[in-house]
A and B are shown apart, each in its own frame.
Chain A
Amino acid sequence: MHAGCVSNGASSPPPTAPGATADPAEVARSVVAAHRGDRGALLPILHGVQHALGYVPTEVVPVIAAELNLSRADVHGVVSFYRDFRRTSPGRTVVGLCRAEACQAVGADALAAQVEARLGVECGATRADGGVTLDEVFCLGNCALGPAAIVDGRVLGRVTVDTVAALVDSPADAPAGSPAQPEGVGA
């Protein structure tokens, strides 16, 4: 089903604590504890884990399963069903390009090709230097101001390749600096 170029969760907010220090199992247990008593809480729990860790590591699946008295297959099935849930760590910046019809009508396909070339990463992948993850999304509800994109949880309209490139670190060998804000979008 969710194969091919489509990948995980461009719309998820950027992680608060990307990976390294927290013990994933402990994080998962504390997230589960916060949702104790909620009905059918698996999705909110997985969102919570991904928010804390940036993705849903394989090792938390049995932890969540045990806490919720579900089978590991149940939890794995849900993690793998939904596009949002990543199973590997995302890049420092997560870019989602809208590929749905309304954005196609204003050149989203050509934009995607330009962005792939400029950022040096294919749609659905994370660049080797970890600088950026490029995803496809199907509709951000910004269909009158397309092409639309979402960068680290922030929706952008009338997007050009320059808009996106300005928000993403240059590929590894280029010096990493604070990217310039594109005109008309910045605060």
Chain B
Amino acid sequence: MSRTVYVPRDSAARSVGADGVAARVGQAAAGADGVTLVRNGSRGLLWLEPLVEVSVDGGPRHAFGPVAPRDVAGLLEAGLLDADPADPSSALAGHPLHLGETEKLEWLASQNRLTFGRVGVVDPLSADDYLAHGGTEGLRKALSMAPEEVVAEVTASGLRGRGGAGFPAGVKWKTVADATADIKFICCNADEGDSGTFADRMLLEGDPFSTIEGMTVAASAVGAREGYVYIRSEYPDAVATLTSAVEIAYARGWLGENILGSGLDFDLFVRVGAGAYICGEETSMLESLEGKRAVVRAKPPLPALQGLFGRPTVVNNLLTLATVPAVLSGGAQAYADLGVGRSRGTQVFQVAGNVRQGGIVETAFGVTLGELVERWGGGTASGRPVRAVQVGGPLGAYLPPSRFDLPMDYEAFAAVKAMVGHGGVVVFDDTVDMAVMARFAMHFCAEESCGKCTPCRIGATRGVETLDRIRAGVDREKNLALLDDLCTLMTDGSLCAMGGLTPMPVRSAIEHWPEDFHREPVPVSIGRHRPGRDAASAGPVYTPANASVAASLGAPAGSAPSTNEEVAP
């Protein structure tokens, strides 16, 4: 009898004790016959991590979770290494942490895992496992086709960029394919900086070969010779897993010269970011890859024509590239049959924040926001009512439960001044102060602005100060009007999405929760990082008591003292 025990190596699982679980299981398994311990990726049911699975004689996998290191002894005693979880009379089947057959868990079974098809299922660094689960089929198909046929297939699938902008991948590829140059590049954007998103990380940690394969397909389609994956430094496990996977891929002939005997040469390099959110913007990522300050470039020229080192470059989000093999192996039509409107295929949604059942929900576009938050998310972790949901990261809109009927679709979201973005959904309960969240949006922009364009660099700082005055009760209506004007300026005048979209969360907060901007005034030190906490060391402090004095001094409307100025009455 053989048995496989799966304990995830995903960093989310590790963050709540998976290594301790694996060590204890491994110790016991060393003395048992026919037991293999596999460190898989995460199934994405993150509230159940560490999620341990057991399969007997290659049969269906049974899930146990959440398994803390201290639970392992009890599971071993119940027969983790010798009982059959499928036998209802066994102590193992009756163990309180037994969740049932993994694939039959409603949360998972109700999804359509395509990009994430192998994540949590396979050993991420087993090339044989990858092959056994359909790996390289897409690449082999691409290599048997003419490059322009591959581009046409990707175009026909309707696959759009998963980074947030939703630009059709095939159109971008065609531009690069039609360009002539001494060298072309494929750049994979894995600088997943949006709070509430973790799909890139989990895919890299759980199925790194799919990204490598997708990039190789892109290389064959557009005639590129070199590729770079830019991963943020906040993802050390993802960097390590992909780096190992690249080495294995070279050894297997999936990278390097004459890939799979096709004559295609393609080299792949892993590059690590350095803590700059702006590198999620494609042109600043290219600057960073060139070893420079990640300052946004003006477009045109398009990166597709003058990208990395001035050469034609495909820049795609990691999810986009990792989906390409599945699009090719399953056929463009099968992919395009999923979804709604112009949003075709599946999207990997990430449900996070104050949510009971957070994790990865991959399903066809068109699922509603409410389904994600309530059906999969199960409401808030705190048990309090949902007040706000931020979709699409720090630059995405806050939406109230009254918008839960909104379908997840690029165009439907754009129509209500929101965005799907990279698919992150962050839930807040009714204790959230939306004026604080609006201030944070401006503060984040001020911190992360690359500094190139004035609306973003200066506007965000003025936005923080204006929101502070609003919270302090200084000329609220005038300052709200000023803030709206500033938002218009940033939206229309910024060079990239950083400054251009920061007004989205701010305006949505004001639109849906105006009462939060008219609360009892709070003492705020204008422009300081943490309002109220370090007032003693700050510059001017407006309190309800001196607000009228401040107003009479000429604040606000641009003349108020900024952080660096002393009040000189």
Are A and B genuine complex partners?
A: yes
Chain B residue nearest in CB terms to A140: B234
Question: Are the C-beta atoms of B11 and A141 separated by less than 8 Å?
Answer: yes
In the assembled complex, the CB of A87 is this many whole angstroms from the nearest CB of chain B, namely: 13
Question: With the chains together, A74 CA to B235 CA distance in Å?
Answer: 27
Contact call A185/B440, Cβ cutoff below 8 A = no
Q: List the A residue with the shortest CB-CB distance to B205.
A: A141
In the complex, the answer to whether B237 meets A144 with C-beta atoms within 8 Å is no
Q: Which residue of A lies closest to B236 (CB)?
A: A153
- Tell me, yes or no, whether B375 is within 8 Å of chain A by CB: no
| B68 located at the interface, meaning its Cβ lies under 8 Å from any Cβ of chain A in the complex | yes
Contact of B196 among A41, A78, A102, A154 (CB under 8 A): A102
A139 to chain B, nearest CB (A): 5
Which chain A residues lie closer than 8 Å to B255 at the CB level? none
- Please, how many angstroms separate the alpha-carbon atoms of A8 and B274 in the complex? 9
Q: Say whether B276 contacts A81, CB under 8 Å.
A: yes
**Would you call B353 and A137 a contact (CB within 8 A)?**
no
Q: Do A144 and B15 touch (CB < 8 A)?
A: no
Contact B201 A158 (CB under 8 A): no
Which listed residue, A13, A138, A153, touches B195 by the CB 8 Å rule? A138
Contact A138 B277 (CB under 8 A): yes
Query: Are B275 and A184 in contact (CB-based, < 8 A)?
Result: no
**A:11-51 near B, CB below 8 Å:** 11-13, 38-44, 46-47
Given the interface pairs A187-B20, A187-B23, the reply to whether A9 lies near B394 with Cβ below 8 Å is: no
Bound-state CA distance A2–B275 (Å) is 10
**A1 engages B274 (CB within 8 Å):** no
Whether the pair A40, B277 counts as a contact (CB closer than 8 A) is no
Contact with B along A147-182 (1 / 0, CB 8 A): 010100111111000000000000000000000000
Q: Are B437 and A101 in contact (CB under 8 A)?
A: yes
* Contact across chains for B437 and A83 when beta carbons are under 8 A apart: no
Given contacts A9-B275, A105-B353, A156-B15, contact A41 B291 (CB under 8 A): yes
Contacts A40-B291, A144-B12, A185-B16; A11 near B275 (Cβ below 8 A): yes
Number of contact residues on A: which range applies?
35 or more
| In the complex with contacts A82-B274, A83-B275, A183-B70, A143-B440 CB distance below 8 A | no
CA distance A28 to B10 in the complex (A): 33
Contacts A78-B292, A82-B274; A40 near B309 (Cβ below 8 A): yes
B455 CB to closest chain A CB (Å) equals 15
Does A145 count as interface, using CB distance less than 8 angstroms?
yes
Nearest chain-A residue to B290 (Cβ)?
A40
Residues of B within 8 Å of A183, CB to CB, are: 68, 70
Q: Is A125 at the interface (CB under 8 A from chain B)?
A: no
Give the chain A neighbours of B447 by CB distance below 8 A: 1-4, 6, 138
Select from chain A the residue with minimum beta-carbon distance to B228: A39
- Contact check, B291 vs A184: say whether CB atoms are below 8 A apart: no
Q: Given that A106-B353, A185-B17, A187-B19 are known contacts, is A101 also in contact with B426, CB under 8 Å in the complex? A: yes
Q: Tell me whether A43 and B291 are in contact (CB under 8 A).
A: yes
Question: Does the CB pair A143–B236 fall under 8 Å?
Answer: no
Q: Shortest Cβ distance from A170 into chain B, in angstroms?
A: 24
User: Which residues of chain B are near A154, meaning CB under 8 Å?
Assistant: 14
Q: Is the CB of A145 within 8 A of B46?
A: yes
Q: Distance (Å) between the CB of B107 and the closest chain A CB? A: 13
B291 and A145 within 8 A (CB)? no
Query: Would B424 and A106 count as touching, CB distance under 8 A?
Result: no
Stretch of B109-117, B157-165, B400-408, B427-435 at the chain-chain interface:
B427-435
Q: Is B533 an interface residue (CB 8 A)?
A: yes
- Indicate if the CB atoms of A105 and B274 lie closer than 8 Å: no
Q: Check B353–A184 contact: CB distance below 8 A.
A: no
In the complex, A83 Cα to B448 Cα: how many Å? 10
17 contacts between A and B (CB under 8 A): A1-B451, A1-B457, A9-B233, A40-B309, A42-B291, A82-B294, A84-B273, A101-B426, A102-B353, A104-B437, A105-B353, A105-B354, A141-B198, A144-B352, A144-B353, A155-B11, A187-B20
The 3 lowest CB-CB distance pairs between A and B, nearest first, are: A144-B358, A42-B291, A100-B195
Given contacts A1-B447, A141-B201, 8 further A-B contacts (CB under 8 A): A11-B234, A41-B291, A42-B291, A82-B276, A140-B235, A146-B353, A184-B17, A184-B20
Interface residues, chain B, with chain A CB atoms under 8 Å away: 11-12, 14-17, 19-20, 23, 46-47, 49, 68-70, 192-198, 200-202, 233-238, 269, 271-277, 288-294, 309, 350-355, 358-359, 381-382, 390, 394, 424, 426-429, 432, 437, 440, 444, 446-451, 457, 529-530, 533
